[in-house]
Amino acid sequence: MKRAALPAVAILLLSAPSALADCEADARAAMLDVAHPVPMRQNVTTEMAGNTIQSFALSTPHGRGMALDANETPVSLWIGGRFYSSADGGESWTLVSEQTQDQRDAQAAGRQRQADEATNITCDYGVDLDGKTVNRFALNYALAGSGIPAKSQYWVDAETRFPWRVIHEFGGANPSVITQNNEPVDTLTIPDPEG
């Protein structure tokens, strides 16, 4: 007995759930991959209440980072769960807060919940971003703790997973948009106030 061939439309419909599952898994992974694969410099534009603020950040894959103002003057840094500020351009640092391991675990659980509950997920694979081949992911979610509606978009290198661009849009009473254009760097110097 000869089997009838499936029409092309039926084949597409049968493969769609798998493609959708891959898209959702990839998008959720991009949202959770805060431990980017290499050190990077973030060029940050924050738009809020009619104002636009330029700033920069340096960060490592292992939870160390430093924020700089528009003049590239160091203003704060973080190492694990310790957060410091500087009033003298990085000459000295003051410990502002320190998180316990339980607090860090709760934050990680909140990020996981945001990713797990994200909706309106879209994926564009193999698209161009300034001459680089990237995968673009977009997700809507509610911020853990506050419930503020948010949408994030990630332009992730198709091969290395490097996040070339990230845009976060936050709703609520004070809407804002944060755009990060990132670049990998070979080495970073981030001071350690504890020596």
Average pLDDT estimate for 104-110:
89
Average pLDDT estimate for 106-130:
93
Q: With a cut of 80, say whether residue 8 has pLDDT above it.
A: no
Average pLDDT estimate for 181-192:
89
**Residue 92, domain CATH:** 2.50.20
- Please indicate, yes or no, if residue 3 is contained in any of the structural domains: no
Average pLDDT estimate for 64-69:
92
Structural domain that includes position 100 = 8-184
- Please indicate, yes or no, if residue 70 is contained in any of the structural domains: yes
Range among 58-62, 98-102, 188-192 with highest mean pLDDT value: 98-102
The pTM assigned to this predicted structure is: 0.83
Considering the chain, what percentage of its residues have pLDDT values greater than 90? 67
Domains identified in the chain, total number: 1
- Are 63 and 80 in contact by the 8 Å Cβ rule? The answer is yes
